[in-house]
Amino acid sequence: MSWKYFLHYLSDGLSLITIGMCLVLKVPQIKRLLNTKSAVGISLLSLSLELTSYSIVTCYNYTNNYSLLSYMEYPIILIQEYFLIYLVLKYLNLINNQILSVVTLYVLVCAGFLTQIIPKTFLTLLVPFCTPVSASSKVAQLLTILRAKNADAVSPMTWFISAFTNLTRIFTVYMDSADILILGNFIVSTTLSSSIMFSAMYYKRKLKKIE
């Protein structure tokens, strides 16, 4: 077996591992919210920006006919993201007609992109903004933890899985398409997800010492 074939097999293997881990990416965070019945320490702005980034990248990969293995975790994460946002809105008592209107607009825009009723050119223009949007979502979450000095509702395991899967995607995307826009997004995401994980671990350990 040549080195080239080995790298492709490795890439496919890492893709499957990434997809498998993403099946439960948000589960620890969802369970944490269900157990605590509180959204303290969770940034709704962060979740909204994250949802925007995931949605754009999913539509971009789909309309460009990239290998499903190279982005399958995005639709999987999106399903979990929807439920997570619902729980946060519920525990913050923010579910109202205004929120329902925003949800309807979101669905219509995504459908427009996927069916290409909205030209694919717009997605190409939006993708470069996914890196700062994704980064901003994680910075917002990090700042929420640091300001509250409380990470009780935050799951470090979720952010560990996020950092690990982003790291593996740097390699798999490079092997599949080497799309510089997507690679840049994953590099930044890996760094910031790791920062949130370590911050959450720090404040949880600090709280245990106080107790």
Q: What is the pLDDT along the chain (211 residues), one digit of tens a residue?
A: 577 777 777 777 877 787 787 788 888 889 988 988 888 778 888 899 889 988 998 999 899 888 777 788 788 889 999 999 999 999 988 889 999 999 999 999 999 999 999 998 899 889 888 778 878 888 888 888 888 777 777 888 888 988 988 888 888 887 777 778 778 878 888 999 999 999 888 887 766 665 5
Q: Which two tokens stand for residue 39?
A: 């959204």
State the helix-helix crossing angle for 156-176 and 180-210, rounded to 10 degrees.
160
- The pTM of the full predicted model, rounded to 2 decimals, is 0.72
Say how far apart CA 187 and CA 148 lie, in whole Å.
27
Determine the pLDDT at residue 22.
79
Report in angstroms the alpha-carbon separations of 141 from 9, 35, 62, 191, 194: 36, 20, 28, 14, 12
